[in-house]
Copies of this chain bind each other. A is one copy, B any other.
Amino acid sequence: MQVEKWGMLELTFQGKKDGNPYIDYQIKAVISGEKEKAEVNGFYDGDGVYKVRFMPSYEGIYSYQVLGSFADAGECGEFTVTANRTENHGPVRVRDGHWLVYADGTPYHSVGTTCYAWTHQNEGLQQQTLETLKKSCFNKLRFCVFPKYYAYNETEPQRYPYQWGEEKGQDKEKAARKITLNIPRKKEPEDITDFDCYTFNPAYFRLLDQRVEQLMEMGIEADIILFHPYDKWGFSTMKRECNELYLKYMTARYGAYRNVWWSMANEYDLLPQITEDEWDAYGRLVREQDVYGHLCSIHNCIAFYDYTKEWITHCSMQKNDTYKHAELTDQYIQKYQKPVVWDEIAYEGNIDQSWGNISGQELVRRFWEATLRGGCAGHGETFVHPQDILWWSHGGVLHGESEPRIAFLKKIWDETPGGYLKAVDGALDEVVAIPEYAEKTVTWDNITWTDYELHYYGFNRPAFRRFNFPEDEKFHMEVIDTWNMTIEDAGVHSGTTEVKLPAREWMAVRIRKV
């Protein structure tokens, strides 16, 4: 057996299928390579099939031993880990508390998007979503395991994550505490047969496997949302035992995909039935079960979670102010000493909801703010659509203007010497970013220059800019139109230099020491 480094080994076994194999039997593997040893849980995939998945992090010969009550005997064997293909950079990690990097050392410049319920749409729409993603710049997709019930989301999903049955999944006491979300609906939810929270529906998870793998092959991180409040079925109000069973199933099944990130929740604070202690316990459980150390966070509606908690690898933020958010990225990085990922800073669109009707220009401005301040931002699209197909939840095709501009930003970001940007003081109408290794000092009457600088003006629109370079050094300047996606050579300069700008919004200047 061969598997590439950061690829996935999958071992499949036939085993017992009497009783409820999801809880009655266990399967695990002890895996041993020269540079790593791991014990990973397997999972039941229905029809008497058990699987164990493993992602190796080193090349070489590995041995494995599969154990558990799933069958009368286990199995031993070996596999060889080959070098990773160049397009396989490994899982994303945190570097120096501030930045994101692939395991192979390549900086990870996150430009994410969101299709919350795309795996619950019809097959044709899911294929269209994959096509759109393939043509796009996005390298992270945020989506839910559980189906979504909300405005524009009133169609039953293609498949449910659980089987319907006698065993009650919903914790009635907790369900009673469920808040009434002020969700505009075309119709009220119908009563549906209760589901069995001890019996997963493997058909749904096989589809999810395929989708996560397809994203992986396209170089897209799968930011998997484990819980969310937009629910009428009871998936958000399961008893703790079932939540834990689910989290173990998810980590066993998806931990070995290198592109997986764990998002404990979308808008955890709209799930008051889950206490902070429970979130912490769930988060720790995921981190313990996941032997690979995938990124793990939790996303807010209003109140940020306490991102200093040890189980949280990065800040997965939704803006909680209408006017100022991405502009605080560098402050949050300093505060939490973790990377900042703006998973919601409002979507390009025109719907009635406050979080879904900004312009492409404004979304791109927020991307530039977040990126130049050392963090990253997430895209989403919510345009009114005749069939209520909104990229934000359903996927499909893009209707907005921001994606090519985000791609343009990423191209410039990818050119950063050393790979990582950080913000430094500048004038009050600009964001100034320099490479993370550089130091810049700005005082009232003196400014030092680094070898690479991006000056971004956002909604400010100077007709020219004066730069006081040293007389004895040369600087190559470029004028960047972040919306019209042009980079204009502005020559090489020393000393006091005035660069002409078009007095339009969303301009930037790039400066490289020659």
Contact = CB atoms under 8 A, between A and B. Distances in A.
A357 B505 CA distance: 9
Contacts of A503: 350, 357, 384
A466 interface: yes
A463 B428 contact: no
A419 to B, nearest CB: 27
A150 to B, nearest CB: 15
A75 interface: no
Chief secondary structure at chain A's binding surface:
loop
Nearest to A458: B322
Q: Which residue among A182, A352, A505 has the maximum number of chain B CB atoms within 10 Å of its CB?
A: A352
Given A182-B445, A445-B182, A362 B459 contact: yes
A444 B181 CA distance: 8
A98 B322 CA distance: 24
Interface string A355-379: 1011100100000000000000000
A465 interface: yes
A466 B184 CA distance: 9
A210 interface: no
Interface in A177-192: 180, 182, 184
A217 interface: no
A429 interface: yes
Nearest to A320: B428
Nearest to A326: B323
B357 A462 contact: yes
Contacts of A384: 463-464, 503
A324 interface: yes
A351 interface: yes
A324 B466 CA distance: 26
A321 interface: yes
Interface in A301-333: 321-324, 327
B324 A321 contact: yes
Given A444-B182, A459-B362, A427 B354 contact: yes
A471 to B, nearest CB: 17
